[in-house]
Amino acid sequence: MNHMLNPAPIYAGVVLENGMLGSPEVARLQARLNDVLGSALIEDGDFGVATEDAVRLFQARYTDPTGGEIEVDGRVGPETWAALFGAESLGAAKPAAGDTRGRVLAIPRSQIGVCEIPVGSNRGPQVDAYHRAAGLDPSSGDHPWCVSFVQWVFREAFDNSPLYPTAGVHALWKQRKIGSTAIVEPSTASARTVRPGMVFTLDTGGGKGHAGIVEGVDGASGTLVTLEGNTNNGGSREGYGVFRRSSRKIAMPRLLGYIDYCG
């Protein structure tokens, strides 16, 4: 592959696909495909058949930054974007000073790969920092930390975090009106109402739950790209690290709802 761009353009959190018009991200994509494949796409930001075919060709020829195969679907999500522009394109962005939504996305990206030490302990140097952000003493018990991770992200992103101070999913949802700028109930959850930077909350039964941050929304498939703590590649609420996941449905089972704190 030709040289990577420096600095790499940061993934915007939106899946690029056929039908998008006048998109700066699509124009960057077209320029990169021309560079890598030697194609002759018009770099106009319009995602049409020619761009989709070029994406499919790239996906068939190349692997992601970890050496894994890329799904050949003609759409550009985080895996294909990283294969095109390098793993650093999914790293911490440098949003403008007033871009709270950008910070809420950049900060958890920087935490991908953080794991419990030892695995299964709900502890570790960085995990303990998440606990403290939620007002917990890490040594006081075996605490799940998905909401603690969200609390830490918003404390890093804001001078004064707007989130209700809790480590519990149900408590956070119950107090969803505190500090929020928009709320999406399950009945209205769609690609039009759910935005990157929102916090998703779901009920996992027995008074327990799980929460994370929406990174991207794929309207065609009705799925999300999410940034989650205390999970794993399978989406467990009792996992061991911070992961990016791309299989949750917008209208996921047992959804409590989405909370927007970014304005």
Reported as a single tens digit per residue, the pLDDT across 106-125 is 899 989 889 999 999 999 99
| Cβ contact 93:13 at 8 Å | no
Does 216 lie in the same domain as 119? yes
Does 154 lie in the same domain as 47? no
**Token pair belonging to 25:** 């991200």
The mean per-residue pLDDT over the stretch 126-154 comes to 96
Cα torsion 155, 161, 167, 170 to 10°: value is -140
Does 208 lie in the same domain as 124? yes
pLDDT at residue 93 greater than cutoff 50 = no
Does 30 lie in the same domain as 104? no
As for how many domains the chain has, the answer is 2
Q: What is the Cα gyration radius of the chain?
A: 19
Does 115 lie in the same domain as 236? yes
Does 177 lie in the same domain as 229? yes
Residue 186's pLDDT is: 98
pLDDT at residue 159 greater than cutoff 80 = yes
What CATH number is associated with residue 173?
3.90.1720.10
**54 Cβ contact list (under 8 Å, min separation 6):** 30, 33, 37, 39, 41
What CATH number is associated with residue 29?
1.10.101
Q: Is residue 201 part of a domain?
A: yes
State the angle between helix axes of 100-109 and 146-157 in degrees (0 to 180), rounded to the nearest 10.
Answer: 130
Does 177 lie in the same domain as 118? yes
Give the model's confidence band at 16: pLDDT under 50 very low, under 70 low, under 90 confident, else very high. Answer: confident
Whether the ω angle into residue 95 lies within 30 degrees of 0, i.e. cis, is: no
Instruction: Give first-to-last CA distance, the chain, whole Å.
Output: 40
Q: Which of 63, 90, 117 is the last residue of a domain?
A: 90
pLDDT over 90 percentage in the chain: 71
Q: Is residue 160 part of a domain?
A: yes
Q: Is residue 2 part of a domain?
A: no
Does 190 lie in the same domain as 68? no
Q: For the full predicted model, state whether its pTM sits above 0.75.
A: no
pLDDT at residue 66 greater than cutoff 90 = no
Structural domain containing residue 46: 24-90
Region of poorest pLDDT, from 1-15, 45-59, 147-161, 227-241: 1-15
